[in-house]
Structure 1
Amino acid sequence: LPRFTDMKPNVIRLWGVRCGKSGRILRWNLLSIVFLIVINSTCADIQPIDVEPAIKKEQPDFEDDTGAMGVGPMPGSPLREAPHKSPISVSAKPASTAKATMAVIEEEMNFMHAFVASLFIIVVSELGDKTFFISAIMAMSHPRMIVFAGAMTALAGMHVMSAMFGYVITIIPRMYTFYASSALFAIFGLKMLRDGWNMAADEGKEEMEEVQTDLRKRDDNYEREPLEEGGAGQKRGSRNRILGLVSRVFLQAFTLNVLAEWGDRSQIATVLMAAREDLSGVLVGGLIGHFLCTGLAVMGGRMIAARISVRTVTLIGGVVFLLFAVSALIIGP
């Protein structure tokens, strides 16, 4: 270190050399250099903390090429005590993600298959059926919206009830219900093909005339009731007559469609589809099918009934039933 021999404020002696003010600056620079050297040498002696084993996985003992067993980590070392993830859990995450994706895709495919099957079967079963003619004929002499509301309420209620009944019977093993429903689909298809083949060309006109006659009798009975009551029926106000007409038309459309749909092939087909297909797909597809058929009947029932052939629709329906039976057997339960 510098040796001070002169205590004058502006003159110092550095290692035997007489200096002025610049010597004081040089002295502080040398002190700083010496301080940094000492700190560096002290830090070099300190061993760094090894934190890498804390994140490494525990490695098993290994055998080298010479046959000697390698020494594994000590029991108390951080390498053994540090928590680690199992390779199985790491690889299981992508596997579980792929399995979940496949489950979603399979669920969507089941929904679409049930939706398409229910939609087509309801359309080919109801188009030209008795319920179709009931809505078409009632819409000719009554408000269309009321007829549509009554018919759609009846058909939707019957469809939901049939689907729920089919879903309940799934307590039976799926294998039995699957093959039983496929066999019934094939039987329905063959029966429709036979009926269509033996059906006369004017079969639709005869059924339409039958429905028209039944509706005319009901209207005559309703008009006869106020006459039997005397003047009580004539004293009702216009508001009561409108409400009575709306309720009468709605109830008539509802009742006739329920009676016509009960035990129909579309109802039995709905029960069979709900027993083996996706329930939500069957419900949505069937409701859309009933909506389309009832809407066509109400909007242009007479025109459609005059131009379509019930025989052709029946034959197409038989083919559709057979196709779904065969496709179900190919896909399997």
Structure 2
Amino acid sequence: MNRLWFLGLMGALIIKTTVSIVIGLLFQSVPAQFRTTTLPIGEYAAITLLLFFCLQSIREAWKLPPTVAKTDHRGVQKSKEPAEEMSVKLSPIEVLGESFSLVFFAEWGDRSMLATMALGAAPSPLGVASVAISGHLLATFISVLGGSFLSRYISEKLSGYICGALFLVFTVPTFFGVF
């Protein structure tokens, strides 16, 4: 299942990076008098999506049944149940679609995308794309492994509430223009 999440995440990041490079190349060819922006559409979309994912994470955590804590041989509290038993069963297509859409839309218009657009106009857009995708690959791999490790020690219900709270934590500063 972790492989499917990884594939969905990387698919979204590869497409986002490629689109960023293409947009950067296109902006390079647009005359300067047409390069004005009036609405911060990226910020509005980011705020809306962050709030949506906050509410969705909390709603899904709320629907999960409570679990009984288990401890390991040292008395340390472990995950309430194996992750496969706790989680809502998703088909492989649903896992790919959810992981892809979560990252694709949440990352749309962020600073890394804007920086990639700007670098797309550089002399070597293929080099920029390959380095950006390699960086995404490494960061995503570490994230998926870390999430897999943490799922052994905290319940999916608690994880959902934490994710919802973190989405809210990032929504507020985005709304006030901190990021």
State TM-score, norm by structure 2. 0.54
Equivalent residue runs for 1:224-243 within 5 Å = none
Mark the CA change 1:288 to 1:204 in structure 2 (over 3 Å): closer, same or farther.
farther
Task: Report the counterpart of residue 261 of structure 1 in structure 2.
Answer: 99
**1:160 matched to 2:10:** no
Specify which of 273, 276, 280 is matched with residue 114 of structure 2.
276
Amino acid in the other structure paired with 2:158? I
Q: Helix, strand or coil: the match of 1:299?
A: helix
Task: Report the counterpart of residue 181 of structure 1 in structure 2.
Answer: 42
- Please identify the structure whose Cα radius of gyration is greater: 1
C-alpha displacement at 1:301, in angstroms?
Answer: 2.5
Specify which of 293, 314, 319 is matched with residue 169 of structure 2.
319
C-alpha displacement at 1:324, in angstroms?
Answer: 3.9
Aligned equivalents of 2:136, 2:64: Cα separation in 1 = 23
Q: Helix, strand or coil: the match of 1:210?
A: coil
Mark the CA change 1:152 to 1:200 in structure 2 (over 3 Å): closer, same or farther.
closer
State TM-score, norm by structure 1. 0.33
CA contact (8 A) 1:154 1:257 kept: yes
Structure ranking higher on relative contact order (CA contacts 8 Å, 6+ apart): 2
Specify which of 126, 144, 154 is matched with residue 294 of structure 1.
144
CA contact (8 A) 1:169 1:275 kept: no
Equivalent residue runs for 1:103-142 within 5 Å = 134-135=1-2
Aligned equivalents of 1:292, 1:204: Cα separation in 2 = 27
C-alpha displacement at 1:184, in angstroms?
Answer: 1.3
C-alpha displacement at 1:186, in angstroms?
Answer: 2.0
Mark the CA change 1:168 to 1:193 in structure 2 (over 3 Å): closer, same or farther.
same
CA contact (8 A) 1:155 1:290 kept: yes
Aligned equivalents of 2:132, 2:109: Cα separation in 1 = 10
Greater helix content: 1
Aligned equivalents of 2:168, 2:162: Cα separation in 1 = 10
Mark the CA change 1:306 to 1:152 in structure 2 (over 3 Å): closer, same or farther.
closer
Aligned equivalents of 1:295, 1:261: Cα separation in 2 = 15
C-alpha displacement at 1:310, in angstroms?
Answer: 0.9
**After superposition, what is the alpha-carbon deviation per residue over 1:70-123, rounded to whole angstroms, capped at 9, x for unaligned?**
xxxxxxxxxxxxxxxxxxxxxxxxxxxxxxxxxxxxxxxxxxxxxxxxxxxxxx
Structure 1, unmatched stretches of 5+, are 1-133, 136-146, 216-251, 329-333
Mark the CA change 1:320 to 1:176 in structure 2 (over 3 Å): closer, same or farther.
same
Equivalent residue runs for 1:143-222 within 5 Å = 147=3, 151-170=5-24, 171=26, 175-176=36-37, 179-195=40-56, 199=59, 202-203=62-63, 208-211=86-89, 214=90
Calculate the aligned-residue CA RMSD, in Å: 4.0
Structure 2, unmatched stretches of 5+, are 28-33, 67-84, 118-127
C-alpha displacement at 1:285, in angstroms?
Answer: 6.0
Task: Report the counterpart of residue 226 of structure 1 in structure 2.
Answer: none
C-alpha displacement at 1:267, in angstroms?
Answer: 1.0
